[in-house]
Amino acid sequence: MTQRRKVKKAEVVVADLVEVDDEEFEEEELEEDEFEEEELPLGSDPSALFAAKTEKTLDIVHDGKRYLFKYKDLTWGEKNACVDAAQSWDQNAGFSFSVSKYYALALTKMLTDTPIRPITETTLNQLDRRIGEQLISIVPQPVESSIQDLKAQ
């Protein structure tokens, strides 16, 4: 009989702990959501919103040699200008978008110092396919499905 009492008390204690944990967990979730909203300070420096002018380097290995391509990221306006320039409209054919023209225009704006001179659409189109594929990896997609850093309000 003593053993039954201990088992019953243990069952009750476990049930009480589960209820307490659930309540505490719900309270923590609410507090955490509120905390996340308050965690980010309001920005006051408008210069932080402009594109960084830092130069980056892309190392490309080809035929056992290393080639350095220096570049800067496109600004919002530069990217849009490349998208606009790659579009065309024909009354018979309608709207068309040239992916190759977009990438070539973007790369001519992005690349700052390369082993290839001059950087033009013509010279870029003559590159080995493997080199071209590595170069377009630094170009933003013409249409991006989502931007994670921005939050709609």
- In sequence order, what E strands does 1-153 have? 56-62, 65-71, 87-90, 94-97, 111-113
CB neighbours of 134 closer than 8 A, spacing ≥ 6?
Answer: 58, 60
Q: Could you tell me if 123 and 102 lie in one domain?
A: yes
pLDDT in the model for residue 52: 84
Q: What does DSSP assign to residue 151?
A: -
Q: Could you tell me if 67 and 121 lie in one domain?
A: yes
Q: Give 41's Cβ-side CA count (13 Å radius).
A: 3
Q: Could you tell me if 13 and 86 lie in one domain?
A: no
Domain of residue 22: give its range. Answer: 1-41
Q: Could you tell me if 130 and 55 lie in one domain?
A: yes
Q: Alpha carbon of 97 to those of 4, 13, 68, 89, 109: distances in Å?
A: 78, 68, 30, 9, 19
Q: Could you tell me if 14 and 59 lie in one domain?
A: no
Q: Could you tell me if 37 and 53 lie in one domain?
A: no
Whether residue 88 lies inside any domain: the answer is: yes
Whether residue 34 lies inside any domain: the answer is: yes
pLDDT in tens, the chain (153 residues): 444 444 343 343 333 344 444 445 444 454 555 544 568 899 999 988 988 889 999 999 999 999 999 999 999 999 999 999 999 998 888 899 999 999 999 999 999 999 999 999 999 999 999 999 999 999 999 987 765 555 444
For the chain, how many structural domains are there in total?
A: 2
Q: Could you tell me if 2 and 67 lie in one domain?
A: no
Q: Tokens representing 65?
A: 């040699």
Q: Could you tell me if 121 and 64 lie in one domain?
A: yes
Query: Cα angle at 51 between 97 and 133, to 5 degrees?
Result: 45
Whether residue 153 lies inside any domain: the answer is: no
